[in-house]
Amino acid sequence: GESVGLHLPTLSVQEGDNSIINCAYSNSASDYFIWYKQESGKGPQFIIDIRSNMDKRQGQRVTVLLNKTVKHLSLQIAATQPGDSAVYFCAENAYGGSQGNLIFGKGTKLSVKP
Amino acid sequence: NAGVMQNPRHLVRRRGQEARLRCSPMKGHSHVYWYRQLPEEGLKFMVYLQKENIIDESGMPKERFSAEFPKEGPSILRIQQVVRGDSAAYFCASSPGSGRTYNEQFFGPGTRLTVL
């Protein structure tokens, strides 16, 4: 079946460096993508989203890039901090988010070394 | 403005018992979603509800699982005759359903169900 997956299950970076977390999706009908951060024992926290009519969107210290040609999504975190340590999930929706069926990837664990 | 609330946070049941998980959406939110998460896995969609209506239950197991979101009160995810494979974290999310962020889903802290 169609699914969202991640290239790297774990990522370790030095504090202050930039982090890049990648995600591949296979559903060509997906038109809405979201990145979530999940800390241990907590629910996912919305970070940033992007629609398929865009290829880049920036937030505070985060940037999401969407390449529809190769069905690839990435999350860039600038000046990574210890508080960024968490599991990051990408999620997709095939209805612009208007319906609830978000499909989550397996997650990438980000560890920030001080 | 309180976020999405779920209770209990931890629930232990023996095989064959019933589990009832509650979710109170954020104030003003009329859409509720339930997801299940196994250890080291991503979240899997179960059901999407609006007040008094099930919109999409394509991720719900056909037997033993049911969900409701009544006009008054929290949304309830009910699992009858639990089995060990039901052990997981169950997350509820809510969204406004209208406005600029109509589809942005805010998640609760989850209920961790353990079946002995």
Interface of B with A in 16-35 (CB under 8 A): 31, 33, 35
Check A32 against B103: CB less than 8 A apart: yes
pLDDT band for A7, please (50, 70, 90 cuts): very low
Half-sphere exposure of B22 (CA within 13 A, CB side): 9
B56, containing H or E segment: strand B53-56
Looking at the complex, does the CB of residue B42 fall below 8 Å from at least one CB of chain A?
yes
| pLDDT tens per residue across span B3-33 | 999 999 999 999 999 999 999 999 988 899 9
Are A73 and A64 in contact, with CB atoms under 8 Å apart?
yes
Q: Which residue of B has its CA nearest to A46?
A: B106
Judged by a CB distance cut-off of 8 A, whether residue B91 touches chain A is: yes
Rounded to whole angstroms, how far apart are CA atoms B82 and B85? 8
What pLDDT sits at residue A2? 38
Q: Does residue A87 carry a pLDDT above 90? A: yes
Q: Are strands B10-13 and B111-115 parallel, antiparallel or unpaired?
A: parallel
* Separation of alpha carbons B68 and B86, rounded Å: 19
- Cβ(A100)–Cβ(B69) under 8 Å? no
Write the single-letter amino acid at B63.
E
**B7 lies within 8 A of chain A by CB:** no
A45, B31: Cβ pair inside 8 Å? no
Query: What is the C-alpha separation between B40 and B113, in angstroms, rounded?
Result: 16
Q: Which residue in A90, A109, A81 sits closest to A32, CA to CA?
A: A90
pLDDT digits (tens, 9 = 90+) for A39-82: 988 999 999 999 999 999 999 999 999 999 999 999 999 999 99
State the Cα–Cα distance between residues B93 and A44, nearest whole angstrom: 9
What are residue B70's phi and psi, to 5 degrees?
A: -70, 170
| Virtual torsion, Cα A100, A103, A109, A110, nearest 10 deg | -60
Q: What is the CA radius of gyration of chain B?
A: 14
Name residues of chain B where pLDDT drops below 50.
none
Q: Kindly state the tokens that stand for A47.
A: 């970070």
A residues 38..67 contacting B (CB < 8 A): 41-46, 49
